[in-house]
Structures are given as C-alpha cells and as structure tokens.
Amino acid sequence: MKTMTLVLSFSIGFNLFLASCNVGSIANQENNSTSTPAVVDSIGSSRERNSYQEINLNELPADVPTKGNSPEELALSAFGTKEVEGLVKEDVEVDTSNPERATVTIAQTNLPDDSVNSIRYRIDFKREDSQWQMEWAGQQFICQPGRGNQNWSKELCD
C-alpha cells in the first residue's frame, strides 16, 4: 500500500496551526474494493516539529510530571508561567482530535525580557496505559525589535 502525507497549516494572529494525516490507498486498480481510505493521524510528525527548537525532556526538573490524566495540566506544569507579571499573556490550545495522541501549544507573549518578546511551546503526548505520556517538546521565539526574528522561529534571539 502506498501512503501519502497531507499537511495543512494556517494561522490566526500569532498562532500557527498545523495538522497532518497519512492517507493510504484503498486498493490497487486490480481490486474493485469500495471501502474508504484509511486515515491515520500523525500529530507528532517530524515536519511540524522541525520548526521548533527541541527541548530535552530528560532535563526537566525531577518534580515535573511527564505522565498523567490531562495533557493540558502536564504541559502547564512543565512550561506554563508560574507568575504572570504585568501584561504577560498566556494562551493554551489543546488538540485531542486523535484519541491516542494530543498536542498542547502554549504561547506566552509580551514577556519582560530584553531580547525575547514571546515564546511558544509545542508539547506532544501519546496515550499510554490509559494516561497521557509527554513524548516530545519544542519551543519557538519572537524577539524584541532589533534583537532578531519578528516571526515565530526556532532561532534564538540576540
């Protein structure tokens, strides 16, 4: 069976949304099957991950859980702001459209930092033993004016 990956990306404001799926052919021309194509969700696709600077999950503090009942709570525990200073804004999006995988995106904007204006985290989870296991994490940055990238990038700010 031949497999093709379809990727859709769109943005709303500063948020970039990515979705992909693998579509397998239903049958070759010799088979007159009338079934529909198999669709397999691949939220953790490396194509989307490549636009993020990978975070080594083994370097998270020992008290940060990486397995539990809620991907959102796990992601916020690891990467959410502990204190929101001034005008810092934190937006959280959770994609659980696949019952076996989830992606949490946390965007923190208007940071009180001289070089980094915004950080966006992507955290991928897989279902394991009826719980969610953190599988991969990455980060992107928007720099302060004159300090580097003004769009989401995995490149560090100056």
In this predicted model, what pLDDT tens digit does every residue of 63-113 receive, in sequence order?
999 999 999 999 999 999 877 667 889 999 999 999 999 999 999 999 989
Average pLDDT, the chain: 78
Q: Does 93 map to a domain? A: yes
Tokens at 30, concatenated:
């010799």
Q: Does 104 map to a domain? A: yes
Q: Does 20 map to a domain? A: yes
Q: What is the DSSP string of 31-71?
A: ----PPPEEEE-TT-HHHHTTSEEE-GGGS-TTS-SEES-H
CA distances, 7 to each of 75, 101, 152 (Å)? 24, 17, 19
Q: Rounded distance, CA 102 to CA 80, Å?
A: 17
- Which domain range does residue 84 map to? 3-143
Name the nearest CA neighbour of 39 among 25, 20, 23: 23
Q: Does 43 map to a domain? A: yes
**pTM across the whole model:** 0.71
Number of domains, the chain? 1
